Structures are given as C-alpha cells and as structure tokens.
Amino acid sequence: MRIGVIGAGAMGCLFAGSLAEAEEDVFLIEVAQTQIETIRDRGLRLDTDCGSRVLHLPIGEAQMFSGPCDLLVVFTKSFHTRAAIRTAAPLLGSSGIAMTVQNGLGNAEAIAQVVPEDRIVVGMTTWPADIRASGHVVSHGSGEVRIWSMTRKPSDVVFKIARSLSCAGLNCIADPDVESAIWEKLAFNAALNSLCAASGLTVGSIGQSGTGRRLAGAIASETLAVARALSIKVNKDRVQKALDHAFLSHRDHKPRCFRTCSRDV
C-alpha cells in the first residue's frame, strides 16, 4: 500500500518506520521544519528492541506530495486533527482510507467532517514511543493495535490494514469492540498523563508511590464510570493490568505536555 503518516512525532515515526521496513510505500507529513530537515538530511533514527537503525523516508508538508494514496494514518495531537486531515485529504483521491489510532475522543468525528464515514477506520494502540531528539525515536517493550470501521460494519479493508500492520510487527487486531478499547486506553492515559504532568515525575516514580498508584486507579475508575454511563462495556481489571505493566516496564517514560493551541498541517 501507499501510506501517508500525518504527524512525525514519536508514534508517527514508529509506525512509518515499521511499515517502511515491511516494504510498504510510506511517506511522512509534518509541519515542524526542524523535524522535516533532520529526517530529510540525516534520516529517521529508530531504536527498538530489534536494535538501532536509520531509515530514509520522504517527509514534508502535505502539499509536497501527490495522490492518490491508499491510507492516511493520522497521528497528530487531537486538537490538530481537523486542520491536518483538511490539508491532507486530497491525497486520498476517491477511494483512500483515513485511519486514526490517536489518543482521546472525537478524532474520528473530526475526520468525518472531511472524509466519508465509510472510508474511516478508528482504533487505538498501546505501543510505547518517545522522541529522544529531533529525528530520533525510541520504543522499547511491546504493544498492539486494535481497529474497526467507523460505520461499525465489517469491512475487507479493515482486515487488509490489520494484516499490513501485523506484518510490520505492530500486532494489529481487527476488533468490532474497538470503542471499548479506546475508552480503556483513555482511562489509562487520563490516569498516568495527568499525574505525570502535575507532578513532573516519570511513570515509574508514580508507580513507586502507594499514593500515586491509588490516585491512578481512582482516575481510571472515574473515566470508566463515564464510559459505562454511555453504555460502553469496559473492563477495569484490564486497565489496572495495563497500569501495572506501565509502572514496571515503562518506568522512564514521562508523557509530554502540550499547549492546546491550533496549528495547521
């Protein structure tokens, strides 16, 4: 497939690099000039459990590329989603698919303002990734991706995308209950991101504190209560297991804080 990844942050680079190594035709869409220039001039350095390597991928602003492409994967922050897809949507042509596995809620709805719902795939991912420096992404540990059609109907294209991601080592599952997974990831992020942002501590430091663990559990439980009020089935034990895994395996990770300002892609 010809795949455009919108947002050359940690997750965007991890997915783009993994797909490129699986011999997919991948390009990165980005607006930050430092990141564009670094990856264009020096390549993308990707450090994972498989080792360290430098990958050379096309990168630039959306207008630098021409369509059509089969898939656009949106990896911007949620508050940039609408502007990002509006700028990049012409690359999809008449049949390309837009996919979001971003954190948070409302991303698919923002994409649907530009792309028909039957050409939108929604999902979530638990893969860890951090930016060590411009053009340098680190990902250690394991994760998975869960996706399904925004229309909630079975779709051959969803299974095709899942196979491509799995072949790239990203462990993707086509999951009709993806909405539950999205809310469980939201509960996980609400617990850890808020505490790390407020305290300035790493995930491991939060986990070493009994108070930190109790606060994380309480925040996650409150988020899950909202999901249940919306008649979405969620599993508290699964979220707690994810938190415990993060405390142990992602000890040095510190979620980044961003100002909620708008920026076009």
pLDDT above 80 (res 19): yes
Which pLDDT value is given to residue 181? 94
pLDDT above 90 covers a percentage of the chain that reads 85
In degrees and rounded to multiples of 5, residue 110 shows phi and psi of -65, -40
126-151 pLDDT tens trace: 998 989 999 999 998 888 999 999 99
Which pLDDT value is given to residue 160? 97
Over residues 21-43, the mean pLDDT reads 96
65-86 pLDDT tens trace: 987 999 999 999 989 999 999 9
Average pLDDT, the chain: 92
Distance CA 257, CA 27 (A): 26
Which pLDDT value is given to residue 259? 40
pLDDT above 80 (res 262): no
Element (H, E) at 174: strand 172-174
Identify any residues that bridge with 54 across adjacent strands, giving them in sequence order.
Answer: 45
Strand order across the beta sheet in which 2-6 lies:
59-60, 25-29, 2-6, 71-74, 97-100, 120-125, 145-149, 172-174
Give me the helices (H) in the chain, please. Answer: 10-21, 33-42, 81-88, 107-111, 156-167, 178-199, 203-208, 210-229, 236-249
Which pLDDT value is given to residue 140? 86
Angle (nearest 5°) at CA 54 between 161 and 146: 25
Identify any residues that bridge with 173 across adjacent strands, giving them in sequence order.
Answer: 146
Residue with the two structure tokens 């390309």: 96
Which pLDDT value is given to residue 257? 55
Confidence of residue 256 (pLDDT cuts 50, 70, 90): low
Which pLDDT value is given to residue 265? 36
Please report, for the chain, the start and end positions of each structural domain, with discontinuous segments joined by +: 2-176, 180-249
pLDDT above 70 covers a percentage of the chain that reads 96
Over residues 43-55, the mean pLDDT reads 95
In CATH, what number does 2-176 get? Answer: 3.40.50.720
What are the CA-CA distances from residue 209 to residues 15, 128, 247 (Å)? 33, 22, 10
Confidence of residue 248 (pLDDT cuts 50, 70, 90): confident
Farthest CA pair distance, the chain: 53
Please name the amino acid found at residue 150. M
C-beta atoms surrounding 33 within 10 Å: 9
